[in-house]
Structure 1
Amino acid sequence: MQLRRVEVPAQAAHRPVRTGGRAARRHAARRARRGSVGVLLCRLTGELFITAGVLMLLFVAYQLWWTNVRALQQAGGAAHHLQSRWDEDGQGAADRDAGDFSPGEGFAILYIPSLDVKAPIAEGVGKQKVLDRGMVGHYGEPSGALKTAMPWDKQGNFALAGHRNTHGEPFRYVNRLKPGDKIVVETRSAFYTYEMTSRLDQTSPANVTVIAPVPAGSGFRGPGRYITLTTCTPEFTSTYRLIVWGKMVDERPRSKGKPDALVN
């Protein structure tokens, strides 16, 4: 059999061959849809991460800034209210007995001149009623290991707790106190001046012996009139407690004016 040459029209020679045209278009459409879904998911994930980051930044700002602003306002108002009430009571007004104060009730003002600290002292160490309001709390449970003395008691340990970070952070820098630095407590009737003597950089939160009448680890050998400051450590954690101790060196009626530690 002989092969024959077949002439192809010119137009047919240049016409593109269509093979699987519809299938290819459907495949391309599916790829486009998958691409669109992928892009949408990527965008959504990115927006979620950005939103989460913004929320975290707002929370950090709330903790580190706004809680301090609010607590300092509350503490400043409480201190002013205390001093105004004492002035109205006049000279000679006596301090109330230990146990007469309800939880969260302010009864004194703490000064640490070397740290520029002034904070009201309230009964109890609860967070909501006392510590988170920028106040310093007095360990004064009616009974048990957390009951400690008042400044006007003739002997005993006046033990206090305060935040080291956030909510006014009155005890932020108590680790900088040095032996001889003064700590002053003002009450309705008197100023009580203590002198810092020693510090315990770290102990368990369960170690209540540090606020005993003669606190363990303080170096005190017998009964006296002491003060103990307790706060959390390391900073921004509550894993351990930092303890500062002092002993009373002066008692001065308010009628005689401020002690030297608050004047110089």
Structure 2
Amino acid sequence: MRVIIRTVSELCITLGTLIVLFVVYVLFWTGVRADAAMSDQIDQLHRQWSRGSVRPTDGPGERTVSATRPEPYRHGEAFAIMYIPRFGFTWNKPVLEGTGRDVLAKGLAHYRGTAKLGGTGNFAVAGHRRTYGDPLEDFPELRPGDPVVLTDGTTWFTYRIDKGPYKTVPTDVEVIDPVPRKSGYTRPGRYLTLTTCDPEWGHSHRLIVWAHLDSTQPVEAGEPKALRR
């Protein structure tokens, strides 16, 4: 009997230790790795954008330096940086193509098949609310009128939230339609949809906000008004 009790006790201690290590991994280590990955993605984008490109001008033999033209989105690669002032003026996250687990571990994820940044249609982006750096932890604080700003290295895009946070179920894929039926939009336009999980530590539901493209300006003009303190 003593042997059985000792064995069961040791198994419980081992199991408890494994549970604690798993919690530490989920709550701490994934966040450390994700923060490093997101910072690295942003640094890579800035280096890519700063290199620029050289193209000929109309005059023979003349050459001028111009910003690098954005390339087609490639799965798992960052192509833009998002800023949400509601989350603080230091908050910024990379946006990558695709919504796989490996992509979401490195930043925000663009739903393949939805519109491109600034394009006609619905530019839809997802992100973790908890774990992997908690990029959208404060999602419920978003309000209509809040700006969501993105840049692709050549242009600033300022979207304005019109509706949300709206709670729905994961199977409600209509939220990322070109004209989302529940958003209040009735005609084609240039829209943004942000999605994250709900509740905070679960994934039984989704929180959604919808926004429209409010303005654009070249990066040479400086930061848009929404990012000025």
**TM, length-normalised to structure 1:** 0.77
- The SS at the match of 1:109 is strand
Deviates more, 1:231-240 or 1:250-259: 231-240
Q: Given the alignment, which residue of 121, 128, 140 partners 1:163?
A: 128
How many pairs were matched up?
Answer: 215
Q: What amino acid does structure 2 have at the position aligned with 1:111?
A: Y
Q: Given the alignment, which residue of 200, 203, 208 partners 1:243?
A: 208
Asked if residue 69 in structure 1 is aligned to residue 43 in structure 2, the reply is no
Q: What amino acid does structure 1 have at the position aligned with 2:205?
A: Y
Is the Cα–Cα contact under 8 Å of residues 143 and 165 in structure 2 kept in the other structure?
A: no
- The SS at the match of 1:48 is helix
- Residues 207-245 of structure 1 deviation map (CA, whole Å, 9 limit, x = unaligned): 221111111211112122111001111122222211111
C-alpha displacement of 1:43: 2.2
Distance 1:226 1:209 in 2: 14
Distance 2:68 2:74 in 1: 19
Distance 1:224 1:82 in 2: 28
What is residue 151 of structure 1 aligned with on the other side? 117
Deviates more, 1:56-65 or 1:206-215: 206-215
Tell me how large the CA RMSD over aligned residues is: 1.5
Equivalent residues in 2 for 1:1-264 (5 A)? 38-89=1-52, 91-96=66-71, 100-116=72-88, 117-128=91-102, 130-133=103-106, 135-140=107-112, 147-153=113-119, 155-264=120-229
What is residue 63 of structure 2 aligned with on the other side? none
Is the Cα–Cα contact under 8 Å of residues 198 and 218 in structure 1 kept in the other structure?
A: yes
- Residues 143-183 of structure 1 deviation map (CA, whole Å, 9 limit, x = unaligned): xxxx1111232x21110011111112212221110111111
**TM, length-normalised to structure 2:** 0.88
- Residues 120-162 of structure 1 deviation map (CA, whole Å, 9 limit, x = unaligned): 011111112x1022x111112xxxxxx1111232x21110011
Distance 2:124 2:109 in 1: 8
Q: What amino acid does structure 2 have at the position aligned with 1:217?
A: K
- Residues 93-117 of structure 1 deviation map (CA, whole Å, 9 limit, x = unaligned): 3333xxx222101100111111133
C-alpha displacement of 1:200: 4.8
Larger Rg: 1
Q: What amino acid does structure 1 have at the position aligned with 2:213?
A: M
Distance 1:65 1:92 in 2: 38
C-alpha displacement of 1:206: 2.0
Which consecutive unaligned segments of at least 5 residues does structure 2 have?
54-65
What is residue 60 of structure 2 aligned with on the other side? none
Q: What amino acid does structure 2 have at the position aligned with 1:261?
A: A
Q: What amino acid does structure 1 have at the position aligned with 2:202?
A: T
Which consecutive unaligned segments of at least 5 residues does structure 1 have?
1-37, 141-146
Misfit runs of 4+, over 6 Å: none
Counting strand residues as a fraction of each chain, which structure ranks higher?
2
Q: What amino acid does structure 1 have at the position aligned with 2:40?
A: G
What is residue 61 of structure 2 aligned with on the other side? none
